[in-house]
Structure 1
Amino acid sequence: MTLWLTALHPFYASVTEISHDAGKKELQVSCRIFTDDLENTLKAQYKIPLDITHPANRKQVEGYISAYLSQHLVITLDGKNVPLHFIGYKIEEDAVWSFLEAENVPTPKKVQVKNNLLYERHATQTNMVHVLVGGERKSTKLDNPKEVAVMGF
C-alpha cells in the first residue's frame, strides 16, 4: 500500500550546497536536482526538445541550465548580490549536479539565499539549502512557496 501511495505522490526536492572558501575567497555552489524534473522544467520554459543526459549540443544545454539557475537561485552576502558563474554539470544516478562559483568573496556574516527552483512546476517542491562559512554549517528547508532563507555566521 505504501508503494502505491508513493507512486501517486512523488517527492519533489532539490539540494543546494553553498560553501565559502576563506583561503581562496571563493563561494562554491552545487545544486542537485532530479534529472527528469529539471529536464521537464527546461522543456516547458524554453519550448524546446531537450535531453540533459545525452545532449546533442552540451553547450546549449549548459546555457539553458545556467539561465534557469540564474533566475531561480540568488545569493546575497552581507546585503550584496553575488554574481554566480556557471561551471558545468554532471549526471549522477537520477540527478543533475550543477556547479557554480563566485570569486573575490570576503567571509560573509549574513547569507541570504533565494531559491525557488522548480516552484513553477511542482506545488509540493522542497528545496534544501546547506551553507558552510568558517567551518560552521547551517541548513534550512524551503517548502514552496517559501523561497528565502537568511543565515547569520
Structure 2
Amino acid sequence: MKTVKNPIKIYLALILTVICLFTYAHPFYVSITDIVYSSAKKNIEISSRIFFDDLEAALNQDGKTQFDIRKPHRKDVIDTAIAAYAKKYFKVSTNGQIQVLTYVGYEIEDDVVWCYFEIPQSQPVKKLEVSNRMLYNNFKSQSHIFHVTVDGKRQSTKIDNPKSFFKMEF
C-alpha cells in the first residue's frame, strides 16, 4: 500500500474540488407563501416571500420595463406592477368561488421582498384552491412552498414548475 507523503496537496485538492462544486452549482428558486384565514376577522391574509432579484426579473420581463425594487424612483409604479403581475399569475378560490386579491403592499427585508394581499371572506373556508405561476416564465426550476392556516389548522405543500395548482380541504 502506498502512503501519502504530502497531506497538504490532498487538502488543497479537496478544497479546490469543493470550491468548484459550489461555483458551478445551479441556484435554486423558491418562494414561500403564508395564507391565513380567521373566521373572527372574516379575512384571508396572504404574505409571499420572494427573492427581490427574481421578482425584479419577472416584473421587468413581463412588463418590458426596468424596475429597481430596492431603490425605486416611484414606489407607486412598482406597487401597480406587482399588483398586476399577481393578478395575472396568482389565483385563489375558496369554496369553489374565484376570489379577487387585494394588493396591500410590499417591503424589503435583506434579499427578500414581502408582498402582501388580502381577500375578504365572510363564509368559513372549507376548500381552498390556489394556482400560482409567478416566476415560472423566468425560472424553470421555480418552486413555491405554501403554509395555509384556517382557523388555527395548518397544512403545507410545495409545487414545482410546471405544476402550478393545489387544493386543500379543512
TM interval, short-chain normalised: over 0.9
CA RMSD of aligned residues (A): 1.3
Question: Out of 65, 77, 83, which is 1:60 matched to?
Answer: 77
Q: For 1:17 and 1:60, locate their aligned partners in 2 and report how far apart those are by CA, in whole Å.
A: 25
The residue number in structure 2 matching 1:17 is 34
Tell me the secondary structure at the aligned position of residue 140 of structure 2. Answer: coil
Where structure 2 has 5 or more consecutive residues not aligned to the other structure, the ranges are 1-16
The residue number in structure 2 matching 1:37 is 54
Q: For 1:3 and 1:114, locate their aligned partners in 2 and report how far apart those are by CA, in whole Å.
A: 38
The residue number in structure 2 matching 1:114 is 131
The structure-2 alpha-carbon separation of the partners of 1:2 and 1:118, relative to structure 1 and needing over 3 Å to count, comes to farther
Kindly state the Cα deviation for residue 41 of structure 1 after the two structures are TM-superposed.
1.0
Kindly state the Cα deviation for residue 124 of structure 1 after the two structures are TM-superposed.
0.5
Q: Mapping of 1:3-152 within 5 angstroms?
A: 4-8=20-24, 9-152=26-169
Kindly state the Cα deviation for residue 105 of structure 1 after the two structures are TM-superposed.
3.3
Tell me the secondary structure at the aligned position of residue 144 of structure 2. Answer: strand
Q: Deviations over 1:35-70 (max 9, x none)?
A: 000001111111111110110000000000111111
Contact 1:18 1:131 survives alignment (8 Å): yes
TM-score, normalisation: structure 2: 0.86
Give the length in aligned residue pairs.
Answer: 153
Q: For 1:109 and 1:6, locate their aligned partners in 2 and report how far apart those are by CA, in whole Å.
A: 45
AA matched with 1:10: P
Where structure 1 has 5 or more consecutive residues not aligned to the other structure, the ranges are none
AA matched with 1:31: S
Q: For 1:5 and 1:61, locate their aligned partners in 2 and report how far apart those are by CA, in whole Å.
A: 37
Q: For 1:43 and 1:147, locate their aligned partners in 2 and report how far apart those are by CA, in whole Å.
A: 21
Q: Return the structure number with greater helix share.
A: 2
Tell me the secondary structure at the aligned position of residue 58 of structure 2. Answer: helix
% same residue: 37
